Structure 1
């Protein structure tokens, strides 16, 4: 089991769009294994490759008894609204209510380049959206506005003291 250290807010790799996976080889398999091992720790729901310092379009998830990974994920459909608390491993000590779609559908490929499709509601939908945002170089706090943003920024300042 290899649990990789997390990159935290301020690390440039979190702000760069990730490159698509084009080479399906042993190093990619090792990356996926590390993503899966790292997300399995208690209290974790999803993990994008750039959160462990690799700028490739890949993420793992462990939500509501659903566990897996997606390479080259694309958010292909969302529906409804789901407002709830959100946090991020790369922004420790901060949480905020964030409006997301209540349903999300992601398509991508597996280690063999075969198509995969994951869809979910509630927290799984939130995770799928959150991780695909990471792969575009976005953090969940970027979309916060008003009092929600002010509260999150206060938490972030306190967490960094």
Structure 2
């Protein structure tokens, strides 16, 4: 597969609302594969398609529990509130505190076009929210307090 250059803050694609995927084509499957390769190569826990310059509603996440791929993800339920430190592959060298829901129900399509639902809590819930924000044109620095250089 391929490892792509990650788009950094300042690139307009990160501020666009990503377009829904209408059909799962071989190109979408290839996109999922390449996004996972890119995320792992960058030692990230999540990646949204806009972060590699593709304005489509596709995310990949792996918080250490295995790869999750979601096409057209949406948050159905959110509960709890927790503040924790986040960083972003598109904002290298910066971290900040971000308030997020602690528990989520997220729905989307898998690579076979089947609807899948995830009940997420903790770190996985945070990763889902962070990546879905990217699909809305929101970067973590928009929500962060105490923004600073990572040590």
SS at 2:62 equivalent? strand
SS at 2:132 equivalent? helix
SS at 1:66 equivalent? coil
Q: TM-score of the superposition, structure 1-length normalised?
A: 0.87
SS at 1:63 equivalent? coil
Contact 1:94 1:155 in 2 (8 A): yes
Q: Which region of structure 1 is more displaced relative to structure 2, 124-133 or 102-111?
A: 102-111
Query: What's the counterpart of residue 40 of structure 1?
Result: 40
Query: What's the counterpart of residue 3 of structure 2?
Result: 3
**Cα distance in structure 2, aligned partners of 1:77 and 1:8:** 30
Query: What's the counterpart of residue 58 of structure 1?
Result: 58
In the TM superposition, residue 84 of structure 1 has moved relative to its aligned partner by 0.9
**Cα distance in structure 2, aligned partners of 1:66 and 1:81:** 25
In the TM superposition, residue 38 of structure 1 has moved relative to its aligned partner by 1.5
**Cα distance in structure 2, aligned partners of 1:122 and 1:110:** 22
Contact 2:13 2:53 in 1 (8 A): yes
Contact 1:21 1:56 in 2 (8 A): yes
Query: What's the counterpart of residue 82 of structure 2?
Result: 82
- Higher fraction of helix: 1
Structure 1 spans left out of the alignment, 5+ residues: 157-161
**Cα distance in structure 2, aligned partners of 1:119 and 1:42:** 26
SS at 2:4 equivalent? coil
Give structure 1 regions of 4+ aligned residues with deviation exceeding 6 angstroms: none
Deviations 1:63-92 (A, max 9, x none): 131312100000111111221110110011
Contact 1:77 1:104 in 2 (8 A): yes
Structure 2 spans left out of the alignment, 5+ residues: none
Q: TM-score of the superposition, structure 2-length normalised?
A: 0.93
User: Does 1:121 find its partner at 2:129?
Assistant: no
Greater Rg by CA = 1
In the TM superposition, residue 40 of structure 1 has moved relative to its aligned partner by 2.0
State the number of aligned residues: 150
Deviations 1:76-120 (A, max 9, x none): 111112211101100111101111111122101122221011221
